[in-house]
């Protein structure tokens, strides 16, 4: 058995939400063990007594019909994204296990398991019942039967070609290769999501083929899989509010998240020190934003123009083609990533009620986020509010003219949408997306370093089957 340490970004919440599909083996009798039939028996050991001994965990294993391995200490050096759980990964005979321990209570121990190369979601996570005690009474333990092989994923996801609508102006995540609808290359899909879809098509047995069509308007794009398309993508942040229309009817569901986002500001290099955080923005600063995006919504929240529910502060004035509207602090006036007060349709600017808050300039209705970068370069805005990925690439390509600041501490996940009436399609996609991303261990950074990374995973899928 060898220890395996990886930089998996698994949220501690998964420990509470995962389906407990592992098989727990009774451990009341010190010499009574499960035989490991159908899997590998894992025994997790924990010292008792002092806090230091409680934090010390070891694992031993026994395949079906085999003998127990010597207990090997695990290095709980991994940390969940929330900081609430430490973890370590171990591997034995085709099975990977992840041992978790709560930071605030070392007595709470959990275990996740999967067949090597499989999905953590296949078998779930359980809290271990550490009720087994050795004869000396110095160590307690729990037994679990872990999978020796991954469950088969069979059957095609769909019959025939699926129509896929993609946002045309979100480089490098999802974009058209053409400059506009009159360009013959406009229907060609490029970027991170394009390569992920191509890898889905390459997975044997999935039966996936996509007819891709560019979509220009961003507003409400996620709902267009409820009828116009079979699937929709384009760097769409997964939000519960985006599943529903204005009437509250649930129309779409999201696939597994496949790309992580953080919001940020893109500023001119000479302003980077002055505008290090959203709190540094004042009424002298104009911030460019694309309406209806998480970039806009998080800007308004972090800069203090809205509360956490998107309700505008009293005195904020929104300018639209139909006129100017002033918020009174009630929920009558709101802007979120999924919707806004009807009067704010086509908004062009937002003026703050005080000097310590920024002005917002809305651009990109026609040509997407490229307009935001042009405005920043021309001095028409002092900052651009959008995701870290796009801003990092823009800063890199600017030759030192731009810089990224004000990184949002919140992490968002992006996914595709499908109709709620097609749950089987969504579940089939989830299993394959999870495999291609290795359960979110592979994302934008890995794709940016090697754009073939998803095709390599698809080849691995095919080889294993």
Is the N-terminal amide bond of 172 cis, ω within 30° of 0? Answer: yes
Place of tokens 């499908």: 418
Beta bridge partners, 22, equal: none
Tokens of 171: 């480089």
Strand (E) positions, 93-230?
A: 95-102, 109-115, 125-127, 132-133, 139-147, 162-167, 169-170, 174-176, 189-190, 210-215
Q: Is residue 18's pLDDT more than 50? A: no
- How many helices, marked H, and strands, marked E, lie in the chain? 9, 29
Q: pLDDT category, 359, cuts 50, 70, 90? A: very high
What pLDDT, on a 0 to 100 scale, did the predictor assign at position 59?
A: 92
Q: Which of 161, 153, 157 lies closest to 211, judged by CA?
A: 161
Give the pLDDT mean for 315-330: 97
Domains of the chain: 2-147 (no CATH), 164-255+418-432+444-464 (3.40.190), 263-405 (3.40.190.10)
Beta-carbon contacts of 438 under 8 Å, excluding residues fewer than 6 positions away, are 457
- pLDDT value, residue 136: 86
Range scoring the smallest mean pLDDT among 113-122, 339-348, 453-462: 113-122
Return phi, psi of residue 41, to 5°: -80, 125
Q: What is the pLDDT of residues 430-464, one digit of tens each?
A: 999 999 999 899 999 999 999 999 999 999 999 87
| 368 confidence band (pLDDT: 50, 70, 90) | confident
* 147-187 pLDDT, tens digit each: 666 555 556 898 889 999 999 999 999 999 998 899 999 99
**DSSP character at residue 242:** G
What pLDDT score was predicted for residue 33? 33
Least confident segment among 73-87, 208-222, 243-257, 407-421: 73-87
**What is the pLDDT, as a whole number, of residue 149?**
61
CB 413: neighbour CB atoms within 10 A?
18
Q: Please report which confidence band the pLDDT of residue 377 belongs to, taking 50, 70 and 90 as the band edges.
A: very high
Share the mean pLDDT of the chain: 87
Distances from the Cα of 165 to the Cα of 27, 211, 295, angstroms: 53, 8, 21
- Residue 61 scores a pLDDT above 80: yes
Query: In the predicted model, is pLDDT for residue 286 greater than 80?
Result: yes
- Is-above-0.85 flag for pTM? no
pLDDT band at 399 (very low <50, low <70, confident <90, very high): very high
Average pLDDT over residues 90-96: 79
Give residue 296's Cα distance to chain centre.
19
Q: Tell me how far apart the alpha carbons of residues 329 and 314 are, in angstroms, rounded to a whole number.
A: 4
Q: Lowest-pLDDT range, 31-45, 154-168, 321-335?
A: 31-45
Residue 35 pLDDT greater than 50, yes or no = no
* Residue 256 DSSP SS3: coil
pLDDT value at position 97?
Answer: 85
Among candidate residues 320, 266, 321, 270, the one with its CA nearest the CA of residue 295: 266
Q: Are 423 and 295 in contact (CB under 8 A)?
A: no
């Amino acid at each position: 058995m060898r220890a395996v340490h990886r930089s998996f970004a698994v949220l501690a919440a998964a420990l509470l939400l995962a389906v407990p599909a592992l098989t727990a083996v009774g451990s009341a009798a010190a010499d009574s063990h499960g035989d490991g039939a159908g899997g590998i028996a894992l025994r997790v050991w924990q010292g008792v007594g002092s806090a230091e001994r409680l934090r010390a965990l070891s694992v031993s294993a026994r395949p079906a019909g085999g003998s127990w391995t010597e207990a090997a200490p695990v290095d709980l050096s991994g940390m969940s994204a929330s900081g609430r759980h430490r973890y370590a990964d171990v591997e034995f005979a085709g099975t990977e296990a992840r041992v978790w321990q709560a930071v605030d209570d070392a007595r709470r121990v959990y275990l996740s398991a999967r067949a090597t190369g499989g999905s953590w979601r296949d078998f779930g996570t359980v809290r271990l019942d550490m009720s087994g005690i050795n004869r000396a009474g110095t160590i307690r333990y729990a037994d679990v039967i872990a999978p020796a092989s991954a469950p088969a994923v069979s059957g095609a996801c769909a019959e025939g070609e699926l129509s896929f609508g993609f946002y045309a102006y979100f480089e490098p995540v999802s974009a058209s290769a053409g400059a506009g609808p009159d360009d013959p290359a406009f229907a060609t899909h490029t970027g991170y999501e394009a390569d992920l879809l191509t890898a889905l098509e390459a997975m044997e047995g999935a039966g996936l083929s996509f007819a891709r069509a560019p979509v220009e308007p961003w507003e409400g794009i996620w709902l267009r899989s409820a009828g116009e398309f079979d699937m929709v993508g384009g760097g769409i942040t997964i939000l519960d509010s985006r599943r529903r229309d204005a009437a509250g009817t649930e129309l779409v569901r999201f696939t597994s998240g496949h790309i992580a986002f953080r919001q940020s500001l893109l500023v001119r290099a000479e302003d980077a020190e002055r505008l290090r955080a959203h709190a540094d923005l004042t009424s002298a600063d104009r911030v460019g934003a694309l309406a209806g995006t998480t970039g806009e919504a998080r800007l308004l929240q972090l800069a203090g123009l809205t509360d956490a529910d998107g309700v505008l502060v009293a005195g904020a004035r929104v300018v639209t083609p139909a006129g100017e509207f002033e918020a009174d602090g009630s929920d009558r006036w709101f802007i979120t990533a999924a919707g806004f007060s009807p009067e704010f349709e086509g908004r062009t600017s937002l003026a703050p009620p005080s000097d310590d808050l920024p002005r917002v300039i809305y651009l990109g209705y026609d040509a997407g986020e490229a307009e935001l970068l042009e405005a920043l370069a021309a001095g028409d805005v002092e900052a651009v509010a959008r995701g870290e990925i796009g801003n990092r690439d823009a800063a890199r390509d600017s030759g030192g003219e731009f810089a990224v600041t004000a990184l949002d501490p919140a992490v968002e996940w992006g996914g595709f949408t499908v109709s709620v009436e097609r749950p089987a399609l969504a579940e089939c996609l989830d299993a394959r997306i999870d495999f291609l991303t290795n359960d979110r261990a592979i994302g934008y950074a890995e794709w940016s370093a090697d754009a073939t990374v998803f095709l390599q995973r698809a080849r691995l899928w095919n080889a294993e089957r």
